[in-house]
């Protein structure tokens, strides 16, 4: 941890400029362009002016009316662009990209009981999805059992209810973990949930060395955006480091962390903020692992990332490319990583939930398709596409199917997978890539100056940046400076659509199950294991082996998380509006 | 005589941590001249009812995206009735299926604001609602 290091608090902890710092050398249009402006453009505008005063991206960055090679003179295209599978990775992290292998079609799914979700998993796999992604309910995400008083009304509503290893076993019934790559969106209780997953794998006779998947396990973005925190940063980061260390030894094909920007973007950030805060979170995790004594190339190859695919098509494509170029320089220059696999930014993408509308929900199929296309043109390794009913409820089976088909149509019918980085060399895309990279570097430097990401969070810096950007966007929408079709223009009277309804039966079933579990397991064994866990948590040993034994004794998630509250304490945020 | 500022409690009930909407609304209402108290996350109905009483608010705005709205609203409305706070307007925003809206209004929720609502619509609703409430409670006020 960075606590003992001196913290330089920048006096200017106010908002960073929305736009990146200007280029060293100003743009010099060619004589042909200048002539065009004088003789063709200006007369045309005099007859019929631009539709709007400003043309900006969804993040409110200004976009020029045309990009030419005059926009690329600040860089060296051969160096900055390169080729796929090689530094600086702008064009992709694999040499053959989608010609060799398509991105993983990994639809986030989960609702009700483990049996309900297991059925939806097997359905989606039968429809051609190529990886699983587990959505847990809020009680599980917050470390409460389904029958805890605070779980009332929440069980199975946002995801699947998992209170013990027994539920986890039911979740993966008929799903061989050695063969099916599985991602789990879990953060504060990531370590015990992962312990349950590993226990199921053991019961299935799966070799841990073959297990492939991802644990989200990114606590920093919880404090910044998603707010599903339990414990304070110190102990939480300790557990993240425990999982990375354990994974490096035991599960070489499993990503112990998915450093995320998706939620930061959903909370209202700009594209540059999304990229900057995500990569700076990554830097913080790397520093924690190095402080633990891990060797950079032992764990860095398995760091993975997770980004949003929002509405502004070119801004998103440029963001992914900028991300790859920035991360390799962080890994090589800042951390001295030598293994090329440590340099490559591998990421999953999800299309932007916050962009989907309650009004005219079928329009969301179109939004999701455009966003998914941006993610593919940006070279994502894995993709989730949202369903049309996103703004109303969890997806119905048919809505989830259309979302999956969207990916399949892009993959097999659009032709964009035939070549790597199809937009490479575009004046616009290369300029935007450079601008986003520079803007992200500015923010990273700012957070460094504040003393790192934990310090920045304590100052409320990323939270305030996000809240400001969210408010600016809402005001722009309210004033119809940003049009949302069906919402502030092209509005019609509508009838409601069919949606998925989850009732309290799940809560009752879970309560019965937990009663039965508690009566059938060895109470003594559970008490011993929890005691041992508590003592280990108060010390410095890696908690994963303890958690593994504790979940196998059928201690519940709630019991485990409560046991950890004692040595760890709980986090209270200072709300920034 | 200057109008008393409208007092609004913005609350996040239940386990849901998605606070983008709650924070944007809190700021918009402040910008519109209202006194806004934001409870922060993970409030039980008991905590919200207690805060509403202590802060003597005119309006409670709830933000719920978790699907737990039926349970949480029913409990809150019971508590407000027990505290004799039926005159406080309770509004909800978030992810609320169409089919649940009628029932929520039946238990006393004044209005449900779905995704896509403008901040101005909420400001206007509150102003109208609170001015009607104060006009109703002062029958002797002369027409202006």
Q: What are phi and psi of A307, to 5 degrees?
A: -120, 165
Closest-approach residue (CA) in chain A for B117? A487
Please give the average per-residue pLDDT across A51-71, as a whole number: 94
Q: How far is B40 from chain A (nearest CA, A)?
A: 6
Least confident interval from A111-115, A118-122, B3-7, B80-84: B3-7
**What is the average pLDDT score of chain A?**
94
Position A75 scores a pLDDT of 73
SS3 of chain B: helix, strand, coil, percent, to 5 = 45, 20, 35
pLDDT at A2 over 50: no
Check residue B103 and give left, alpha or beta (phi > 0: left; psi -120 to 50: alpha). alpha
Interface of B with A in 106-135 (CB under 8 A): 114-116, 118-120
Of A153, A267, A357, the CB nearest to B14: A153
- Residue A19 binned pLDDT confidence (cut-offs 50, 70, 90): low
Burial status of residue A363 (CB atoms within 10 A of its CB: 0-12, 13-18, 19 or more): middle
- Interface test with chain B among A136, A144, A149, A153, by most B beta carbons within 10 Å: A153
**Distance (Å, rounded) from C-alpha A575 to C-alpha A546?**
34
Position A10 scores a pLDDT of 33
Interface of A with B in 162-221 (CB under 8 A): none
Q: Which two tokens stand for residue A179?
A: 């063969």
Q: Report which of A552, A458, A576 is spatially closest to residue A197, judged by C-alpha positions.
A: A552
Q: Spell out the domains of chain A, with CATH numbers in brackets.
A: 79-417+424-470 (3.20.20.240)
Of A150, A227, A499, the CB nearest to B41: A227
Q: Report which of A245, A287, A220 is spatially closest to residue A458, judged by C-alpha positions.
A: A220
Please give the average per-residue pLDDT across A210-219, as a whole number: 98
Position B132 scores a pLDDT of 77
pLDDT at B12 over 70: yes
CA atoms within a 13 Å half-sphere pointing along the CA-CB vector of A79: 7
Position A451 scores a pLDDT of 98
Closest-approach residue (CA) in chain A for B42? A150
Of B20, B67, B115, the CB nearest to A502: B67
Q: Are A470 and B20 a contacting pair at CB < 8 A?
A: yes
Contacts of A393 in chain B (CB under 8 A): 67, 95, 97
Beta strands in A124-231 (DSSP E): 131-135, 182-185, 213-215
**Distance (Å, rounded) from C-alpha B70 to C-alpha B74?**
6
Dump pLDDT digits (tens) for A484-538.
999 999 999 999 999 999 999 999 999 999 999 999 999 999 999 999 999 999 9
pLDDT at A407 over 70: yes
**Distance (Å, rounded) from C-alpha A77 to C-alpha A435?**
14
pLDDT at A139 over 70: yes
What share of chain B has pLDDT > 70, as a percent? 92
Please give the average per-residue pLDDT across A155-184, as a whole number: 98
Closest-approach residue (CA) in chain A for B20? A267
DSSP line for B97-138: -HHHHHHHHHTT--EEE-TT--HHHHHHHHHHHHHHHHHHH-
If one compares A6 and A231, the residue with the highest pLDDT of the two is A231
pLDDT at A7 over 90: no
Beta carbons within 10 angstroms of residue B69's beta carbon: 27
Contact yes or no for A243/A544 (Cβ under 8 A): yes
Residues 6+ away with beta carbon under 8 Å from A405: none
Q: Is A155 an interface residue toward B (CB < 8 Å)? A: no
Contact yes or no for A431/A62 (Cβ under 8 A): no
Contacts of B15 in chain A (CB under 8 A): 138-139, 141-142, 144, 150-151, 154
Beta carbons within 10 angstroms of residue A43's beta carbon: 9
- Residue A1 binned pLDDT confidence (cut-offs 50, 70, 90): very low
Q: Are B71 and A487 a contacting pair at CB < 8 A?
A: no
Of A152, A486, A575, the CB nearest to B71: A152
Dump pLDDT digits (tens) for A410-453.
999 999 999 999 999 999 999 999 999 999 999 999 999 999 99
Q: Is B46 an interface residue toward A (CB < 8 Å)? A: no
Beta carbons within 10 angstroms of residue A419's beta carbon: 12
Position A11 scores a pLDDT of 33
Please give the average per-residue pLDDT across A69-86, as a whole number: 87
- Residue A575 binned pLDDT confidence (cut-offs 50, 70, 90): confident
- Residue B47 binned pLDDT confidence (cut-offs 50, 70, 90): very high
pLDDT at A63 over 90: yes
pLDDT at A402 over 50: yes
State the complex-level ipTM. Answer: 0.93
Position B138 scores a pLDDT of 63
pLDDT at A159 over 80: yes
Contacts of B61 in chain A (CB under 8 A): none
Position A297 scores a pLDDT of 98
A257 pairs with which residues across the strands?
A303
Contacts of A477 in chain B (CB under 8 A): 118
Dump pLDDT digits (tens) for A280-326.
999 999 999 999 999 999 999 999 999 999 999 999 999 999 999 99
Of A154, A393, A470, the CB nearest to B14: A154
Contacts of B44 in chain A (CB under 8 A): 150
Interface of A with B in 489-508 (CB under 8 A): 496, 499, 501-502
Q: Report which of A300, A312, A326, A276 is spatially closest to residue A461, judged by C-alpha positions.
A: A276
Residues, chain A? 577
Contact yes or no for A89/A324 (Cβ under 8 A): yes
The arrangement of strands across the sheet holding A254-255 comes to A254-255, A213-215, A182-185, A131-135, A104-109, A382-384, A347-351, A303-309, A257-260
Closest-approach residue (CA) in chain A for B119? A478
Q: Are A496 and B15 a contacting pair at CB < 8 A?
A: no
A306 pairs with which residues across the strands?
A260, A348
**Distance (Å, rounded) from C-alpha A284 to C-alpha A314?**
29
Angle, CA A377 vertex, CA A371 and CA A378 arms, to 5°: 85
Q: How far is A503 from chain B (nearest CA, A)?
A: 10
Beta strands in A268-365 (DSSP E): 303-309, 347-351
Position A3 scores a pLDDT of 30
Please give the average per-residue pLDDT across B106-127, as a whole number: 97
Residues 6+ away with beta carbon under 8 Å from B9: B36, B37, B39, B48, B51, B52, B55, B57, B59, B60, B61
Of B28, B67, B114, the CB nearest to A157: B67
pLDDT at B13 over 50: yes
Superfamily of structural domain B7-137: Cobalamin-binding domain (3.40.50.280)
Contacts of A467 in chain B (CB under 8 A): 23-24, 27
Q: Which two tokens stand for residue A209?
A: 């060395």
Q: Which two tokens stand for residue A365?
A: 């199929």
**What is the average pLDDT score of chain B?**
93
Beta strands in A248-405 (DSSP E): 254-255, 257-260, 303-309, 347-351, 382-384
**Distance (Å, rounded) from C-alpha A562 to C-alpha A559?**
5
Closest-approach residue (CA) in chain A for B37? A577
Contact yes or no for A530/A559 (Cβ under 8 A): yes
Least confident interval from A24-28, A211-215, B127-131: A24-28
Straight-line distance from the first to the last Cα atom of chain B, in angstroms, rounded to the nearest whole number: 12
DSSP line for A477-531: HHTTSS--BTTTBS----PPPP-----THHHHHHHHHHHHHHHHS-HHHHHHHHH
SS3 of chain A: helix, strand, coil, percent, to 5 = 50, 10, 40
Please give the average per-residue pLDDT across A540-558, as a whole number: 98
Interface of A with B in 118-147 (CB under 8 A): 138-139, 141-142, 144
Q: To 10 degrees, what angle do helices A233-250 and A271-292 make?
A: 70
Interface of B with A in 22-41 (CB under 8 A): 23-24, 26-28, 30, 36, 38, 40-41
Contacts of A475 in chain B (CB under 8 A): 119
Q: Find tokens 């398709």 and name the residue.
A: A369
Q: Find tokens 């924690």 and name the residue.
A: A288
Q: Is B6 an interface residue toward A (CB < 8 Å)? A: no
Contacts of B99 in chain A (CB under 8 A): 496, 499, 501
Q: How far is B17 from chain A (nearest CA, A)?
A: 5
Position A353 scores a pLDDT of 98
Closest-approach residue (CA) in chain B for A479? B118
Closest-approach residue (CA) in chain B for A155? B68
């Amino acid at each position: 941890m960075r606590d003992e290091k001196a913290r330089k608090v920048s006096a200017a902890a106010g908002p960073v400029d929305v736009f990146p710092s200007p280029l060293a050398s100003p743009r010099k249009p060619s004589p042909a362009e200048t002539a065009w402006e004088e003789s063709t453009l200006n007369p045309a505008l005099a007859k019929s002016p631009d539709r709007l005063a400003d043309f900006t991206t969804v993040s409110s960055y200004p976009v020029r009316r045309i990009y030419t090679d005059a926009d690329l003179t600040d860089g060296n295209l051969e160096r900055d662009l390169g080729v796929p599978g090689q530094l600086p990775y702008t064009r992709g992290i694999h040499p053959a990209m989608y010609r060799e292998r398509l991105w993983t079609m990994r639809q986030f799914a989960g609702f009700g009981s483990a049996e309900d979700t297991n059925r939806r998993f097997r359905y989606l796999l039968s429809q051609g999805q190529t990886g699983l992604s587990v959505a847990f309910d809020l009680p599980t995400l917050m470390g409460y059992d389904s029958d805890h008083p605070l779980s009332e009304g929440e069980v199975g509503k946002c995801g699947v209810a998992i209170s013990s290893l027994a539920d986890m076993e039911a979740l993966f019934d008929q799903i061989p973990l050695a063969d099916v790559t599985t991602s789990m969106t879990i953060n504060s209780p990531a370590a015990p949930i992962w312990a349950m997953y590993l226990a199921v794998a053991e019961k299935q006779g799966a070799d841990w060395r073959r297990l492939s998947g991802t644990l989200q396990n990114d606590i920093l973005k919880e404090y910044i955006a998603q707010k599903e925190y339990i414990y304070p940063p110190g102990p939480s980061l300790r557990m993240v480091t425990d999982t990375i260390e354990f994974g490096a030894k035991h599960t070489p094909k499993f990503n112990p962390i998915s450093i995320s920007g998706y939620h930061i973007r959903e909370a209202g950030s700009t594209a540059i903020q999304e990229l900057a805060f995500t990569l700076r979170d990554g830097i913080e995790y790397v520093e924690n692992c190095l402080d633990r004594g891990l060797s950079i190339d032992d764990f860095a190859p398995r760091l993975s990332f997770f980004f949003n695919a929002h509405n502004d098509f070119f801004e998103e494509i440029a963001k992914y490319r900028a991300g790859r170029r920035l991360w390799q320089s962080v890994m090589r220059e800042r951390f001295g990583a030598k293994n090329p696999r440590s340099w490559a930014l591998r990421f999953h993408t999800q299309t932007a939930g916050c962009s989907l509308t309650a009004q005219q929900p079928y329009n969301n199929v179109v939004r999701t398709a455009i966003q998914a296309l941006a993610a593919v043109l940006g070279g994502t390794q894995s993709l989730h596409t949202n369903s049309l009913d996103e703004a109303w409820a969890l997806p119905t089976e048919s809505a989830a199917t259309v979302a999956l088909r969207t990916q399949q149509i892009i993959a097999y019918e659009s032709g964009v997978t035939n070549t790597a980085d199809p937009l490479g060399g575009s004046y616009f895309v290369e300029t935007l890539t450079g601008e986003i990279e520079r803007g992200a570097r500015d923010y990273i430097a700012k957070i460094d100056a504040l003393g790192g990401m934990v310090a920045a969070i304590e100052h409320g810096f990323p939270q305030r940046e996000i809240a400001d950007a969210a408010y600016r966007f809402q005001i722009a929408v309210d004033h119809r400076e940003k049009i949302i079709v069906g919402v502030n223009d092209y509005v019609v009277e509508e009838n409601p659509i069919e949606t998925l309804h989850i009732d309290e039966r799940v809560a009752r079933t879970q309560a019965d199950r937990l009663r039965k579990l508690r009566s059938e397991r060895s109470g003594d064994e559970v008490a011993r294991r929890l005691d041992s866990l508590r003592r280990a948590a108060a010390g410095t040993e890696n908690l994963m082996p303890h958690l593994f034994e504790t979940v196998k004794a059928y201690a519940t998630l709630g019991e485990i998380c409560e046991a950890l509250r004692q040595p760890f304490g709980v986090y209270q945020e200072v709300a920034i509006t | 005589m200057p109008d008393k500022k409208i007092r609004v409690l913005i609350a996040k009930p239940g386990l849901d941590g998605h606070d983008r909407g709650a924070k944007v609304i809190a700021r918009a209402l402040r910008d519109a001249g209202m006194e806004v108290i934001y409870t922060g996350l993970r409030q039980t109905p008991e905590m919200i009812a207690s805060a509403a009483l202590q802060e003597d608010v005119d309006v409670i705005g709830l933000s719920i995206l978790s699907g737990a709205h039926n349970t949480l609203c029913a409990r809150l409305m019971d508590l407000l009735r027990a505290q004799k706070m039926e005159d406080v307007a309770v509004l909800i925003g978030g992810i609320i299926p169409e089919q649940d809206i009628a029932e929520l209004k039946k238990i006393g929720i004044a209005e449900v604001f779905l995704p896509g609502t403008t901040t101005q619509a909420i400001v206007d609703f509150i102003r109208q609602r609170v001015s009607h409430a104060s006009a109703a409670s002062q029958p002797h006020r002369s027409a202006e």
